[in-house]
């Protein structure tokens, strides 16, 4: 008798992913779904989706979802979580959404200590609009609006969201992971699980950043995009737990 | 019914709470600060949530989030702040979410002035954000009328799954009057069970609230909205028609301007002038029938009186009058209020000093 040891998470719609080949949004979507299943929260979760490639989660997750305006997901999630404190509420936002147009909303929600979780997929580009420079684009990294590579003189340096948010008093869990290989994907999944568990325990704001890729707009093969992450992205954006309320006690 | 002497902003806030509002998010801006201030202490008493948002943009999106859980949610602001909220109002319409938005309007454009004005008619009735959606827009002219409208606003919003706006200028927000407050509404008959998100103890299929649709779905939604706006025109128009039966001159005014105009009309009637008033209470839908049923053989002129320059309601009146009588306009703006003498003199210029 064969034993079934792996299957599609319950809260993923059984359909083909429309994410580009090699895009790590697919991986992030899957591990978040696995965590929801493992915590038995499929019926009780409300996801807030933003604008950008991450909004495609509307197609793939089989959970209650609310689509919001560009950058406003943390404000929408605030309204939801305050009205439904027993629901497991999370946003899934990209870097243009969260770290540019939505800076006021993310920092203010974190500072108020809203008791929901933000999962931040950082691929250093505006994916859906075709690869413009993001607040997280690396120095020298080319984009359709920084054709010679990002220049710190005019565009500043890539913004480090975990490092900003960990300085606020209210957040209880702030961590950055990377999805470049199976080992790191497992670590990221554990981080998401911890953030969700803290929320279910009634603790405060949690923020999980996931370093991801964009083979299409970086203009490289999927495997080369992982290599680029390892040689560049992961060196600039340190992967660690910046703040963990439990461990600091 | 409890009679109370209340300030406009506080009366409308209290009426919203009595009508079931359990969530408010807002941002300070004059002259509507008394609404969030009142809500900050009143809502927790009523088992509701008050949040002071980091901006108008965030506040309307908090309302969007609360509304998606079926909570009766409200925000308020004044003109420049309403401009910021229009992004969120468009998304509320697109996602078919009920909510109440109160605009205690002030002088514009730009930062304008903090004093009262009626400079947001076009924004309120034509374009509260991108995308060609409309809201039911109510414009009370007394605090009692404001209370009655705010009390029932969520029933309209939930009936239509569409946000509702109350447009009251800074005068109405700041004056004090006696109001009869209705009893606290029971929320058991809320019409949100079929679509709101969040687990209610019964497992069901996943739900999605969003304003993004595939092309065919979006067009189908737009057609439904168009049908709804037509139905509003048939069923939801509110208007006061005052002394129109024998009127040769018809004043058109809403909100505080109508209040001042009414005084002038009564004074002129006393002097024998045959003058009446059409007072739109819903600015959208506009009271078209009130214009259609007039006897144009009798009418010598219309006078559009608004506390803004240039008059903004003029085009809506013009479309209905269709050249059958001249339309004059009179207004003050920038935070300078209309007064009895100014309005009476302006009308007399049109009537040729008759009476």
| Same domain assignment for residues B214 and B250 | no
The DSSP line for A36-101 is HHHTT-TTTEEEEE-SSGGGGHHHHB-SEEEE--TT-HHHHHHHHHHH-TTSEEEEEEEHHIIIII
Phi, psi of B143, deg, nearest 5: -70, -35
| Same domain assignment for residues B207 and B169 | yes
- Mutate one of A49, A79, A98 to test the B interface: name it (highest B CB count within 10 A): A79
For residue B199, the chain A residues in CB contact (below 8 A) are 43-44, 64, 86-87
For residue B51, give the nearest of A11, A82, A87 by CB distance.
A82
Structure tokens at B352: 């040729």
| Same domain assignment for residues B81 and B212 | yes
Phi, psi of B159, deg, nearest 5: -55, -45
**Residue finishing a domain among B235, B254, B273:** B235
For residue A76, the chain B residues in CB contact (below 8 A) are 61-62, 64-65, 68
Q: How near does any CA of chain B get to the CA of A64, in Å?
A: 5
Rounded to whole angstroms, the Cα distance separating B165 from B88 reads 13
Whether residue B47 has pLDDT greater than 60: yes
Which CATH number do you get for residue B173? 3.40.50.970
Domain span holding position B10: 2-235
For residue A43, the chain B residues in CB contact (below 8 A) are 199, 203
N-terminal to C-terminal alpha carbon distance within chain B? 43
Coarse DSSP helix, strand, coil percentages of chain B, rounded to the nearest 5 percent = 40, 20, 40
Rounded to whole angstroms, the Cα distance separating B237 from B247 reads 22
User: Which residue in B has a C-alpha nearest to residue A85's C-alpha?
Assistant: B198
* Residues of chain A with confidence (pLDDT) below 70: 249
Could you give the number of structural domains in chain B? 2
| Same domain assignment for residues B50 and B74 | yes
Angle between helices B143-160 and B8-18 (to 10 degrees): 40
Contacts of A67 (CB under 8 A, 6+ apart): A48, A49, A55, A58, B95, B208, B209, B210, B211, B212
Decide if A211 contacts A234 (C-beta within 8 A).
yes
| Same domain assignment for residues B280 and B335 | yes
Residue B327's pLDDT band (cuts 50, 70, 90): very high
**Residue finishing a domain among B235, B257, B283:** B235
Which residue from A129, A164, A179 is spatially nearest to A22, judged by alpha carbons? A179
For residue B208, the chain A residues in CB contact (below 8 A) are 58, 64-67
Decide if A155 contacts A217 (C-beta within 8 A).
no
Rounded to whole angstroms, the Cα distance separating B116 from B108 reads 10
| Same domain assignment for residues B96 and B201 | yes
| Same domain assignment for residues B109 and B218 | yes
**Inter-chain CB proximity A83 and B25 less than 8 Å:** no
User: Which residue in A has a C-alpha nearest to residue B91's C-alpha?
Assistant: A69
Domain chopping of chain A, boundaries: 25-244
Which residue from A58, A51, A162, A156 is spatially nearest to A106, judged by alpha carbons? A162
Class of domain A25-244: alpha beta
Interval B290-325: pLDDT, tens? 999 999 999 999 999 999 999 999 999 999 999 999
Check residue A1 and give its pLDDT: 78
ipTM entry: 0.97
- When the pLDDT of each residue in chain B is averaged and rounded to a whole number, the result is 96
**Inter-chain CB proximity B65 and A87 less than 8 Å:** no
Whether residue B32 has pLDDT greater than 80: yes
Rounded to whole angstroms, the Cα distance separating B277 from B283 reads 15
B73 and chain A in contact, CB less than 8 A: yes
The DSSP line for A137-201 is PPBT--BTTBTT-B-HHHH-PPP-HHHHHTTSSS-SEEEEEE-SSHHHHHHHHHHHHHHHHHHHT
Strands B239-242 and B100-105: what pairing?
unpaired
Contacts of B80 (CB under 8 A, 6+ apart): B29, B106, B108, B110, B111, B112
In this structure, the number of other CB atoms found within 10 A of the CB of residue B136 comes to 24
Check residue B353 and give its pLDDT: 67
| Same domain assignment for residues B297 and B346 | yes
Q: How near does any CA of chain A get to the CA of B223, in Å?
A: 22
Interval B129-158: pLDDT, tens? 999 999 999 999 999 999 999 999 999 999
N-terminal to C-terminal alpha carbon distance within chain A? 48
Check residue B355 and give its pLDDT: 46
For residue A106, the chain B residues in CB contact (below 8 A) are none
User: Which residue in A has a C-alpha nearest to residue B47's C-alpha?
Assistant: A83
**Mean of the pLDDT values across residues B116-140?**
97
Check residue B2 and give its pLDDT: 79
DSSP state of B33: T
Check residue A248 and give its pLDDT: 75
Check residue B125 and give its pLDDT: 98
Phi, psi of B2, deg, nearest 5: -110, 120
Check residue A246 and give its pLDDT: 85
| Same domain assignment for residues B180 and B298 | no
Rounded to whole angstroms, the Cα distance separating B121 from B314 reads 10
Decide if A150 contacts A138 (C-beta within 8 A).
yes
- Mutate one of B47, B48, B60, B68 to test the A interface: name it (highest A CB count within 10 A): B68
**Residue finishing a domain among B235, B251, B282:** B235
Number of Cβ pairs < 8 A linking chain A and chain B: 124
Instruction: Give the burial class of B150: count Cβ atoms within 10 A of its Cβ; 0-12 exposed, 13-18 middle, 19 or more buried.
Output: buried
User: Which residue in A has a C-alpha nearest to residue B57's C-alpha?
Assistant: A72
């Amino acid at each position: 008798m064969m034993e079934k040891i792996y299957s599609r998470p319950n809260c993923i719609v059984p359909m083909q992913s429309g994410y580009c080949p090699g895009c790590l949004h697919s991986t992030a979507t899957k591990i978040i779904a696995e965590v929801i299943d493992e915590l038995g929260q499929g019926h009780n979760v409300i996801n807030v989706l933003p604008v950008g490639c991450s909004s495609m989660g509307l197609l793939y997750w089989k959970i209650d979802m609310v689509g919001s305006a560009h950058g406003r997901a943390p404000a929408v999630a605030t309204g939801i979580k305050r009205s439904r404190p027993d629901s497991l509420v999370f946003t899934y936002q990209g870097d243009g959404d969260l770290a540019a147009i939505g800076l006021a909303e993310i920092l203010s929600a974190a500072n108020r200590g809203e008791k929901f979780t933000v999962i931040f997929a950082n691929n250093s580009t505006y994916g859906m609009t075709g690869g413009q420079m993001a607040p997280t684009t690396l120095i020298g990294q080319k984009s359709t609006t920084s054709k010679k590579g990002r220049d710190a003189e005019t565009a500043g340096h890539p913004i480090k969201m975990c490092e900003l948010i960990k300085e606020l008093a209210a957040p209880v869990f702030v961590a950055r992971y990377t999805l470049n290989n199976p080992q790191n994907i497992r670590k990221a999944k554990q981080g998401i699980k911890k953030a969700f568990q803290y929320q279910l325990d009634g603790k405060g704001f949690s923020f999980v950043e996931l370093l991801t890729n964009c083979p299409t707009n970086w203009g490289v093969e999927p495997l080369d995009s992982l290599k680029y992450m390892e040689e560049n992205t992961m060196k600039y954006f340190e992967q660690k737990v910046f703040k963990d309320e439990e461990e600091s006690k | 019914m409890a009679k109370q002497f209340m300030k406009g902003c506080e009366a409308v806030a209290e009426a919203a709470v009595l009508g079931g509002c359990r969530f408010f998010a807002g941002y300070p801006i004059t002259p509507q600060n008394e609404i969030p201030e009142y809500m900050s202490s009143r809502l927790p008493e009523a088992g509701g949530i008050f949040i002071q948002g980091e901006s108008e943009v965030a506040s309307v999106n908090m309302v969007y989030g609360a509304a998606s859980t079926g909570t009766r949610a409200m925000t308020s602001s004044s003109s420049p702040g309403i401009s910021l909220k229009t992004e969120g109002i468009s998304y509320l319409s697109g996602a078919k979410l009920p909510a109440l938005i109160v605009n205690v309007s002030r002088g514009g454009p730009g930062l304008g002035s903090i004093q009262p004005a009626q400079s947001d008619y076009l924004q309120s009735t034509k374009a509260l954000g991108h995308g060609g959606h409309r809201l039911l827009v109510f414009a009370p002219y007394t605090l009692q009328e404001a209370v009655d409208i705010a009390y029932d606003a969520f029933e309209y919003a939930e009936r239509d799954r569409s946000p509702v706006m109350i447009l009251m200028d800074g005068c109405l927000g700041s004056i004090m009057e006696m109001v009869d407050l209705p009893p606290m509404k029971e929320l058991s008959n809320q019409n949100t069970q079929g679509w709101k998100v969040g687990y209610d103890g019964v497992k069901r299929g996943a739900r999605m609230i969003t304003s993004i649709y595939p092309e065919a779905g979006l067009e189908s939604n737009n057609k439904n909205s168009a049908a709804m706006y037509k139905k509003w025109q048939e069923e939801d128009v509110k208007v006061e028609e005052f002394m129109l039966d024998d009127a040769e001159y018809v004043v058109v005014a809403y909100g505080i301007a109508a209040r001042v105009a009414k005084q002038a009309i009564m004074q002129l009637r006393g002097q024998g002038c045959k003058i009446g008033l059409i007072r739109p209470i819903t600015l959208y839908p506009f009271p078209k029938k009130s214009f259609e049923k007039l006897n144009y053989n009798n009418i010598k002129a219309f006078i559009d009186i608004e506390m803004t320059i240039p008059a903004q309601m003029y085009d809506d009146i013009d479309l209905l009058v269709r050249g059958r009588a001249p339309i004059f306009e009179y207004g003050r703006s920038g935070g300078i209020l209309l007064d009895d003498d100014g309005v009476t003199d302006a009308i007399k210029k049109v009537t040729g000093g008759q009476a």
